[in-house]
A = this chain, B = another copy of it.
Amino acid sequence: MFTEKLMPRFSDTDALGHINNTVIAQWFEGSRYPIFKWFTPDLNVNNWKLILAKTVVEFHAELQYGESVEIRTYISRIGNSSFDVYQEVWQKDQKCASGTAVMVHFDHAAKKSKKITEFIVKQMELHAVN
């Protein structure tokens, strides 16, 4: 598991008075940062190796402005070239949202998916949902 603590921005709220649902996808993507580094250690976008195939977010409770949140990030599936990242947002000891991003290791030059290396698979296993 990776964890990241962050404070919501005021602009993350919406007129209903809570954090807007689309912001949770931004937080989740932000917290996939260590995963991006596995594939592109210098984070050079001209050498990016991942594409996002699908995202799912489930909303369990309203997220409030003015309280920090913790994002928890796990690897929930390791395929040949694709994998799933499972993430949760916690605020005040409550799981407020959870979701899964389906990512694909991709060779942009060859325009096709590519086997995940053994080295990265080992990293993933250390962060697997147990």
Residues of chain A touching chain B, judged by Cβ–Cβ distance below 8 Å, are: 4, 6-11, 13-18, 20-23, 25-27, 29-30, 32-33, 36, 43, 45, 48, 51-59, 65-66
Contacts and interface: CB of A to CB of B under 8 A. Distances in A.
B54 A57 contact: yes
B25 A25 contact: yes
B7 A11 contact: no
Given A10-B36, A13-B20, A53-B58, 8 more contacts: A10-B20, A14-B15, A15-B65, A21-B29, A22-B22, A51-B59, A53-B59, A55-B55
9 contacts: A6-B6, A7-B33, A9-B29, A11-B20, A16-B45, A43-B65, A52-B59, A53-B59, A54-B57
A22 B21 contact: no
